[in-house]
Amino acid sequence: MPIYEYRAVDSHGGCERCQNGVDIIQAIQEEPLTACPQCHAPVARVLSAPHLRVGRGGRNPVEDRVREYEKQGMYSHAAELADKEAEKTKREDLKARALDNYKRAGYKNLL
């Protein structure tokens, strides 16, 4: 069930609870509250932006894994993973990152 926020209609009326906003769990089909459950002062439902979360901040999980390998100093693992992803996605930035990690891992003469 959704959580709705209600606030006092009059900025000088009502209790501290409804002045600061009160969260009420209600079924979608229920009528909105018109009075504070505590002091019975008139309240109105507050509309607020939805809180959305997309994956891990919208980042690519492969890039997160490459970054983790780099932090651990596992440059050959980071290079291989970035290289494979670059081949699949045709991303030049990942290809350059793979080459840099290969060099850090001690591979020489990479072109």
User: 52 in a domain, yes or no?
Assistant: no
User: 25 in a domain, yes or no?
Assistant: yes
Answer yes or no: do 70 and 99 share one domain.
Answer: yes
pLDDT of 39: 92
**Whole-structure pTM value:** 0.47
> pLDDT by residue (tens digit) across 57-77?
556 788 889 999 999 998 999
Give the residue-averaged pLDDT of 83-88: 92
Domain total for the chain? 2
Is the pLDDT at 109 greater than 80? The verdict is no
> pLDDT by residue (tens digit) across 5-18?
999 998 888 898 88
Burial class (CB in 10 A: 0-12, 13-18, 19+), 36: buried
Amino acid residing at 5: E
User: 51 in a domain, yes or no?
Assistant: no
User: 54 in a domain, yes or no?
Assistant: no
User: 55 in a domain, yes or no?
Assistant: no
Reference 6, options 49, 43, 48; nearest CA is 43
Length of the chain: 111
Q: What domain range includes position 23?
A: 3-46
User: 21 in a domain, yes or no?
Assistant: yes
| Average per-residue pLDDT for the chain | 85
User: 69 in a domain, yes or no?
Assistant: yes
